[in-house]
A and B are shown apart, each in its own frame.
Chain A
Amino acid sequence: MSAPVDLSVALGPLALANPILTASGTFGYGLEFAHLTDLGRLGGIVTKGLSVAPIRGNPPPRVCETRGGMLNSIGLQNIGIERFLAEVLPGLERFPPRVIVNLFGVSVEEYVRLAARVEPVAGVAAVELNVSCPNVQRGGLEFGQDPEVLARLVRAVRAVTGKPLIVKLSPNVTRPVEIGEAAKAGGADILSAINTLLGMAIDPVSRRPRLATVRGGLSGPAIKPVALRVVFDVARQVGLPVIGIGGIETVDDVLEFLLAGASAVQIGSALFRDPTTAERLVTALADRLAADGVATLRELIGAVRLPS
């Protein structure tokens, strides 16, 4: 047997025991999976998006299956930051994995309030901002679609938090790199990419959209090539550590994202197919690196061999 592979990785100020995280919205608040998978083996978990007040979410149908993936339009339903901190976080602290809270608001003030609220909470390892939310002060344009608006938002949050700050990029923009640069200018430590792709499905028999809100977010293996391209571009051009997200289900998928420049990955809808996917990938990644004679994860990050 060769020496155990070192899967630890540091993304700027965020140190992880391994690079396998769970993606926001696909792992509940974490405890839903406690009896189905060993939370302690994960590099970290990212919570369902949390807001200042609870949100009841969109009318059904909220999900539909598509070829190689699924559409969702949950409508940001969540229990609100206070209930999460009081009722869920203490339960998660029994497990070693790092808890990253995903936060969103409809105004800069709401994001700032949320970040300030979790700042003194020791059980929160990092903050991830969901910036694919409509900004009510700007006619509903998403924060993450305008570089100036995003830089202002990130700067305001940065001012109230010393925790590692992750900004989750949307693929629904022409130039994700520009948005990533704006997040960096605002003081982000890490970028995660990508959020879901806007999509739609229609039932040809009833002629109705399959989601009550008509449009929804596409996730799953169908979006992996898009995610990989965004991670590749952002990792090379922005100069911040990147967490890759989008259709990851196998150890080959993980390797592709690492080679493209991601320092860690988040597992999303694959967790619905198999709740142990993330835990399995931690083992599979270690086995694979050992088999390939790779001593540390770090030597793979961004190591794609490009044509000269």
Chain B
Amino acid sequence: MLPTDHLAVVERVVEHPLPYFSLLLAVPRGWADLAAGQFVMVRTGSGLEPFLRRAFSVHDATSSEAGDRIELLIKAVGRGTRALAALRPGARLQVLGPLGRGFSLAAEGPVALVAGGVGAAPLYLLARRLAERGQRFDFFYGGRNRTDLPRLESFAALARRAGGRLVATTEDGSAGARGLVTEPLERALASGEFRFVYACGPMGLLARLASLVAAHGLGGEAALETPMGCGFGACLGCAVPRPDGRFALCCQDGPVFAFSDVAW
């Protein structure tokens, strides 16, 4: 599907524990078929600041009689995201998408989904699609504290539906086990439970996962986040180093990359 720039209507703003919230947007017919991991570029204001659009992965995409709708799970951290948090139903938002390449759904057998904080955003749609296909997955969800695990219960429900479980970790122990999400994951990988790992989160986490995946001879994909100018391959601003020394573009070649296609 070719991306279009669309004036989307805000249908709902869903509060999660601060600083997280969701925007539900009415979008053109057909968008509900986008791939998990694809993203949109959102104009967060009409003035000169913020100057650039903001990239958000699509958290969920659904279709009904009334039309197609996407959900963006957002962490209010800067000027742009705080402006979005202040939106009310009925507001209109310029949204360019769907952009980039999403997760492949080619993996056989049980898979592991690994999220770090707001990196959970694109994994919800992926988890839902996997559950609908009847593919088993476990969801490893790590954050600094309990509020850093938005929609924890929804992820747990999806994992149960897929015959798997949710494993939460927090650095302060306020939810799940105290520690890093890589610790329970490493144990699970060592026991040979999974053939494939899907992930999204901070670069440090993804780099660690890349070496774990390689060490266990598994396949895997990660959704990356980089500074981005345009979102569709024109500005060449979102370079991702590749193992061959050249650069891929996060917006076009990604944001989902095989772990082995990135020089971590």
Within 8 A of A (CB), among B214-233: 226-230, 232-233
A window 68-105: CB within 8 A of B: 68-70, 72, 74, 77
Known: A272-B52, A272-B53. A61 touches B233 (CB 8 A): no
Q: Indicate whether B187 reaches chain A with its CB closer than 8 angstroms.
A: no
A58 within 8 Å of B by Cβ? yes
Is B123 an interface residue, CB under 8 A from the partner?
A: no
| A207 proximity list for chain B (CB < 8 A) | none
CB B2 to nearest CB in A, in angstroms, measures: 5
Contact of B246 among A56, A64, A65, A67 (CB under 8 A): A56
Query: Which residues 9-40 in A have Cβ within 8 Å of B in the complex?
Result: 25-28, 32-33, 35-36
- Contact B239 A70, beta carbon cutoff 8 Å: no
Q: Which residues of B contact A64 (CB under 8 A)?
A: 227
Mask, B227-247, CB within 8 Å of A = 1, is: 111101111111111000111
Nearest residue (CB) in A for B239 is A60
Given known A-B contacts A33-B234, A69-B51, A275-B96, A56 and B245 have beta carbons under 8 A apart: yes
Interface centre among A74, A273, A274 (most CB of B within 10 A): A273
Given A62-B238, A72-B237, are A35 and B229 neighbors across the interface (CB < 8 Å)?
Answer: no
Does A63 interact with chain B (Cβ within 8 Å)? yes
Interface residue B66 (Cβ < 8 Å from any Cβ of A): no
Q: Is A62 within 8 A of B237, CB to CB? A: yes
Residues of B within 8 A of A33 (CB): 234
Return the CB mask of A135-179 against B: 1 if under 8 Å, else 0: 000000000000000000000000000000000000000000000
Given contacts A56-B246, A60-B241, contact A65 B50 (CB under 8 A): yes
- Judged by a CB distance under 8 angstroms, whether B4 is at the interface is yes
**Alpha-carbon distance A60/B232, docked complex (angstroms):** 17
* A57 CA to B3 CA, complexed, in Å: 26
Q: How far is the CB of B221 from chain A (nearest CB, A)?
A: 20
The verdict on B43 contacting chain A, using a C-beta distance below 8 Å, is yes
Contact with A along B41-62 (1 / 0, CB 8 A): 0010000111111000000000
Contacts of B233 in A (CB 8 A): 28, 32
Query: B5 interface residue, CB < 8 Å from A?
Result: yes
Establish whether residues B51 and A57, one from each chain, have CB atoms under 8 Å apart when the complex forms. no
Say yes or no: A273-B43 contact (C-beta < 8 A), given A36-B232, A67-B49: yes
B5 touches A74 (CB 8 A): no
Residue among A60, A77, A272, A274 making CB contact with B227, cutoff 8 Å: A60
Contact residues in B for A32 (Cβ distance below 8 Å):
232-234
Find out whether the CB atom of A74 lies under 8 angstroms from the CB atom of B3. Answer: no
Is A296 close to B, CB under 8 A? Answer: no
User: Across the interface, which residues of A come within 8 angstroms of B43, CB to CB?
Assistant: 273-274
Bound complex: CA of A66 vs CA of B233, how far in Å? 21
Q: Which of A35, A57, A272, A276 contacts B234 (CB 8 A)?
A: A272
B228's nearest neighbour on chain A, judged by CB, is: A63
Indicate whether A35 sits within 8 Å of B246 (C-beta atoms), given known contacts A59-B241, A60-B240.
Answer: no
Contact with A along B10-43 (1 / 0, CB 8 A): 0000000000000000000000000000000001
By the criterion CB–CB under 8 Å, are B52 and A274 in contact? no
A contact residues around B94 at 8 Å (CB) = 274
Q: Tell me if A251 is interfacial: C-beta within 8 Å of chain B.
A: no
Q: Cβ of B50: which chain A residues have Cβ within 8 Å of it? A: 65
**Contact A72/B226 with A36-B5, A56-B245 known, Cβ cut-off 8 Å:** no
Q: CB of A271 within 8 A of chain B?
A: yes
Cβ–Cβ < 8 Å partners of B53 in chain A: 272-273
Residues of A within 8 A of B (CB): 25-28, 32-33, 35-36, 48, 56-70, 72, 74, 77, 220-221, 269, 271-276
Given contacts A72-B237, A77-B239, A221-B51, 6 further A-B contacts (CB under 8 A): A36-B4, A63-B235, A68-B48, A68-B49, A70-B51, A275-B232
Which residues of B come within 8 Å of A, CB atoms?
2-5, 43, 48-53, 94, 96, 226-230, 232-241, 245-247
Query: Can you list the 8 inter-chain pairs with the closest CB atoms, starting with the nearest?
Result: A63-B237, A28-B234, A272-B230, A60-B239, A35-B2, A32-B234, A68-B48, A63-B229
